[in-house]
Amino acid sequence: MLRKIPTQQLRTGMYVERLGGSWLQHPFWRGSFLVRRDEDIRTIRDSGIAEVWIDVGKGDAPPEGAARAPDAPAEEALAPAGKAPNVPPEELTAQTTQAPQESPRLVDFRAEVQRAQRIYDGSRPVLRSMFEQARMGRAVDTTGAAELVEQISESVQRNPWALVSVARLKTADEYTYMHSVAVCALMIALSRQLGLDAERTRDAGMAGMLHDVGKALIPMQIINKPGKLDRSELDVVRTHPERGHALLQRLGGMAPAVLDVCLNHHEKMDGTGYPNGAPAERISLMARMGAVCDVYDAITSNRPYKQGWDPAGSLRRMAGWTGSHFDNQVFQHFVKSVGIYPVGSFVRLESGLLGVVVEQAEQSLLTPRVRVLLDSTTRSAVGPRLVDLAAAGCQDRISGLEDPEDWGVRQLSQYL
């Protein structure tokens, strides 16, 4: 049975089914867990969370006579705070309960970044060749893409943030095809966060790799235009999902999920997307995942016509688009897969120090590792040195985001 209790009644041995309050402020990666340490209780209380739902069938119950809120129905406790899930329950349940993959112990971020860089560099000729084949009307060989998906999946298993961070640093002139690598990595990381099985995760990765193949059939002068597209040019660009879908159908042998994401990754939950203006009930889980991953990489990347947005700021903007553009439940899982402060975010600590997020903590959304560069009070350099906000005894925490250019900081990538 589920019970809603004030966090002041939370004790070790209780099983938390859901944390109350704003989901963006939750300090834990997992939505449900057994409370084993007093430190976890302090972290929950310090985050301003007033209530939690506990499952007394999986853990201890409050003592007799304790004040209690009304029992929470199961569907309330399992729904994300603020909004009901938009994903069709039968689809999400069917795809997230089939032998979820094991979570291997993470390897060191900086060591994996070196491997991820080699994968990323090796992907350039493969993707460039594939897009060129499509542009020339030749048969597209996706064998190399499938091999890349396997390498990317292995990297994400070792450390889910390394390759995503490397792929975000692509140059504007290589965006069209290297965007595919980034979305592939994001789709795999999101699949693992959702608990999809290995086969579905591979399909998600391949879908991310091939979702924009239709852009190879769009005139390059439109794709690389440095200014805003006019209405007729925008109409041409919006044909790329159907063009890509038709191309993959002609190739044959594609998993249905790959075809689905290619065609539907620009559909929106309010029915205003393209190419078909599909209503929410006709948008699959995989297409909803593709929509989030595609937009996140697009808005955080440098393009011919604009500079990419800060990763953490991008998530906050995207949060405002949930319900209309994105599925709320899928987006919440996406944030958990990249972190509230993704690698590459420039942040201010409560101590006044400024730095770049270089690695996520395994258990907490709010306590990444930060490479400190400046003291905001003196505007002087203090590093770079690493501050682990999750370390025992660390009293500092992130107080907000900063624009690195306001502080004369260039090329954050050199500090990752």
Q: What is the pLDDT of residues 294-327, one digit of tens each?
A: 999 999 988 877 888 888 889 989 998 988 999 9
pLDDT at site 90 = 43
Position 408, amino acid: G
Backbone angles phi, psi at 77, to 5 degrees: -70, -30
Angstrom distance (rounded) from CA 224 to CA 345: 27
Which pLDDT band holds residue 218 (cuts at 50, 70, 90)? Answer: very high
**Residue spans per domain, the chain:** 2-82, 109-338, 346-415
Task: Classify the C-alpha dihedral 106-107-112-113 as positive or negative.
Answer: positive
Q: Are strands 380-388 and 369-375 parallel, antiparallel or unpaired?
A: antiparallel
H or E element, residue 1: none
pLDDT at site 339 = 86
Please state, in angstroms and as integers, the Cα–Cα distance from residue 94 to each residue in 23, 78, 87, 285, following that order: 24, 16, 12, 11
Please tell me the least confidently modeled range out of 268-272, 353-357, 411-415.
411-415
Angstrom distance (rounded) from CA 47 to CA 57: 26
Position 265, amino acid: H
pLDDT at site 194 = 93
CATH, domain 109-338, list 3.30.2350.10, 1.10.3210.10, 3.90.550.10, 3.10.20.80: 1.10.3210.10
Beta-carbon contacts of residue 51 (< 8 Å; ≥ 6 apart): 4, 5, 6, 7, 20, 21, 69
Angstrom distance (rounded) from CA 366 to CA 167: 23
- Mean pLDDT of the region 259-275: 97
Contact between residue 172 and residue 302 where contact means Cβ atoms under 8 Å apart: yes
Does the pTM surpass 0.85? The reply is no
Contact between residue 175 and residue 302 where contact means Cβ atoms under 8 Å apart: yes
Angstrom distance (rounded) from CA 203 to CA 149: 9
Start-to-end CA distance of the chain, whole Å, equals 45
Please tell me the least confidently modeled range out of 9-13, 98-102, 207-211, 288-292.
98-102
Position 136, amino acid: M
How long a stretch of residues is the chain? 416
- Mean pLDDT of the region 259-287: 97
| pLDDT higher than threshold 80 for residue 71 | no
pLDDT at site 30 = 52
Q: Within 13 Å of residue 149, how many CA atoms lie on the same side as its CB? A: 24
